Chains A and B, each alone.
Chain A
Amino acid sequence: MGGKVLTVTSGKGGVGKTTTTANLAVALAATGDKVVCLDADIGLRNLDVVMGLENRIVYDLVDIVEGRARLRQAMIKDKRLPELYLIPAAQTRDKAAVSPTDMIKLCNELRNEVDWILVDSPAGIERGFRNAVAPADQVLIVTNPEVSAVRDADRIVGLLEAEEKGPGHLIINRLKPEMVKRGDMLSTEDVLDILAIPLIGVVPEDEGILVSSNRGAPAAMDERSRAGQAFRDVARRLKGEDVPFPSLDDNKSFFQRLAARFTRAS
């Protein structure tokens, strides 16, 4: 069997699927695992941009599927991490260029080459989504703490259950602790209350993410990035480590947090 196929999906667009895929890939590769990212958003590719590999694309996913390129030829090697690769989507084609069966075949080949295959799903629940989910061993559902994103995530969970892909694991992205505290944003508990699936990550809102996406250097490479740390925690959980969810209250000092812990315990 070998490598594990992880599909990152969300239903709603713009919640951070591509950012999540890029950062998890970097975080997993930084632990020494061999990782390949697969951009399944044919026609609207941007994983290559976020990973800073756009200028090195020669072959893409559709070239492999249609036999114009061998798997190895289309795997772009990231120069910053030794074991990180990208297979980009085709920009000039559409979702119908690839079938779920093609994706399963491709991923089965990749399993022999790498430890992790991260599939970046397009938004929506149509062909592109089915392509991305077909090969998955595990599905990560990204949502934002807002009602419409959670509604779409709920739809995705229902579709995954129907496809027998399990309920999936949840990543809550772009949480603003101070807004939650004011009662202006859904809390982690509110989201879990509706979706009722296992949580694997909570990523705080971080302006640095936008900067790093534009620069093509995922935040997980930056030791000081808070969002990057959250993605590194997800990577460790994916590898089976039991990593506690840190409190997102950044306004409190360490001693205040320590004091709060004691009051809670007593």
Chain B
Amino acid sequence: MSDRIAIKGIRDGLLITVTDAGEWPATAKEVITRLDEKADFFKGARLTLEVGARAIPAAELGRLRDAFSERGVSLTTVLSESALTTSAAQALGLKVAVAAPPPPAVQAQLEAEVDPEEVREDAVLVRRTLRSGRSVRHAGHVVVLGDVNPGAEIEAGGDIVVWGRLRGVAHAGAGGDEAAVVCALDLAPTQLRIARFIATSPARKGTPQPEMARVKDGHIVAERWSPKR
């Protein structure tokens, strides 16, 4: 495997840096090969391509973009010092600069202060609505700020917290942890699973209330969350 094509994660998705100076069609082919080697990893990814001073005509760039697109990868940005490449990218409606990073947040200077029992806890925060066809899979906890629509799925090794409406499928404690819980402001999942237990939502009655579901005596039960506890 050559290091003339480097791939790393950036804030906007993935960055592919091509430092190879060979013939473009061959290089493009190699980039595609690298994608195909880890097709599952790249699927759905948003890509930034950095090509240095190399001049790539629009037709070539278009072809590469279509090849990416066929693999479920969307090319969003092309970074280059070449005017030809930059204008080709613009003609294709691609961005030619990475969005400036946000001003350093205050949080960056915060020193970690976490009790030892929480240190091993690991969570992802999803700050948008998960629409049909989307899935989030994570070994730790999953927190969603938004809705989980019907047709979307969450699978978490730990707990699932939805600050919104949970109407898709949620599986907490997917690794077998029966103490995992699922909470939502409106708990109305298509199907709810905790560890090896499965439940469906009863028909809705009245206005939605924040609820928490857990395993109790071999069944999944949902209880209204009340501040007095």
Nearest Cβ in chain A — how far from B129, in angstroms? 7
Q: Per-residue CB proximity of B38-50 to A under 8 Å, as 1/0?
A: 0000001010000
B131 touches A130 (CB 8 A): no
Interface size (A, Cβ < 8 Å)? 22
Min CB–CB distance B15 → chain A (angstroms): 17
The contact sample of 26 A-B pairs, CB cut-off 8 A, is A99-B66, A100-B65, A100-B66, A100-B69, A101-B62, A101-B63, A101-B65, A101-B92, A104-B62, A104-B93, A130-B69, A151-B132, A152-B132, A154-B150, A155-B131, A155-B132, A155-B133, A157-B131, A158-B133, A162-B44, A162-B46, A162-B74, A163-B74, A164-B76, A194-B149, A196-B129
Chain A positions 157 through 196: 1 when the CB is less than 8 Å from some CB of chain B, otherwise 0: 1110111100000000000000000000000000000101
User: Number of residues in B with C-beta < 8 Å to the partner?
Assistant: 23
List A contacts of B131 (CB < 8 A).
154-155, 157-158, 161
Residues of A within 8 A of B92 (CB): 101, 104
Whether the pair A155, B151 counts as a contact (CB closer than 8 A) is yes
CB pair A154 B44 closer than 8 Å: no
Given the complex, which residues of A lie within 8 Å of B151, measured CB to CB? 151, 154-155
Number of A-B contacts (CB under 8 A): 49
Q: Which residues in window 141-161 of A have CB below 8 A to B? A: 147, 151-152, 154-155, 157-159, 161
State the B residues within 8 Å of A (CB): 44, 46, 62-63, 65-66, 69-70, 74, 76, 91-93, 129-134, 147, 149-151
Determine the chain A residues whose CB is within 8 A of the CB of B74 once the complex forms: 162-163
Indicate which residue in B63, B91, B93, B132 contacts A154 across the interface (CB closer than 8 Å): B132
Cα of A99 to Cα of B58 in the assembled complex, Å: 14
Beyond A157-B131, A163-B74, A194-B149, 17 additional pairs, beta carbon < 8 A:
A101-B65, A101-B66, A104-B92, A105-B62, A130-B69, A151-B150, A152-B132, A154-B131, A154-B132, A154-B149, A154-B151, A158-B133, A158-B134, A159-B133, A162-B44, A194-B150, A196-B147
How far apart are A223's CB and chain B's nearest CB, in angstroms? Answer: 39
- B44 and chain A: residue at smallest CB distance: A162
The residue in chain B whose Cβ has the minimal distance to the Cβ of A157 is B131
Q: Are B150 and A99 in contact (CB under 8 A)?
A: no
Q: Which residues of B contact A158 (CB under 8 A)?
A: 130-134
Question: Which residues of B are found within 8 Å of A159, using beta-carbon distances?
Answer: 133
Minimum distance in angstroms from B229 CB to a CB of chain A? 30
Residue of A nearest to B128 (CB): A161
Neighbouring B residues of A130 by C-beta, 8 Å: 69
Q: Which residues of A contact B129 (CB under 8 A)?
A: 196
B136 CB to nearest A CB, Å: 12
A161 to B65, CA, bound (A): 18
Instruction: Report the 9 A-B pairs with minimum CB-CB distance, sorted nearest first.
Output: A158-B131, A101-B62, A154-B132, A155-B133, A155-B132, A99-B66, A154-B131, A151-B132, A151-B151
Q: Which residues of A contact B65 (CB under 8 A)?
A: 100-101
A206→B130 CA distance, assembly (Å): 34
Which residues from B are CB-within-8-Å of A104? 62, 92-93
Give, as a whole number of angstroms, the nearest-CB distance from A106 to chain B.
12
Give the docked Cα–Cα distance between A196 and B130 (Å). Answer: 12
Please name the residue on chain A nearest to B131 by beta carbon.
Answer: A158
A residues less than 8 Å from B132 (CB atoms)? 151-152, 154-155, 158
Q: Please, how many angstroms separate the alpha-carbon atoms of A104 and B149 in the complex?
A: 32
- CB of B138, distance to nearest CB on chain A (Å): 19
User: In the assembled complex, how far is the CB of residue B39 from the closest CB belonging to chain A, in whole angstroms?
Assistant: 16
Residues of B within 8 A of A154 (CB): 131-133, 149-151
Nearest Cβ on chain A to B130's Cβ, whole angstroms: 8
**C-alpha gap A15/B65 in the complex (Å):** 31
Point out the residues of chain A lying under 8 angstroms from B130, CB to CB.
158
Residues of chain B within 8 A (CB-CB) of A163 are 74
Which residues of the partner chain B approach A155 to less than 8 Å between Cβ atoms? 131-133, 151
Q: Whose C-beta in chain A lies nearest to the C-beta of B65? A: A101
Contacts of A151 in B (CB 8 A): 132, 150-151
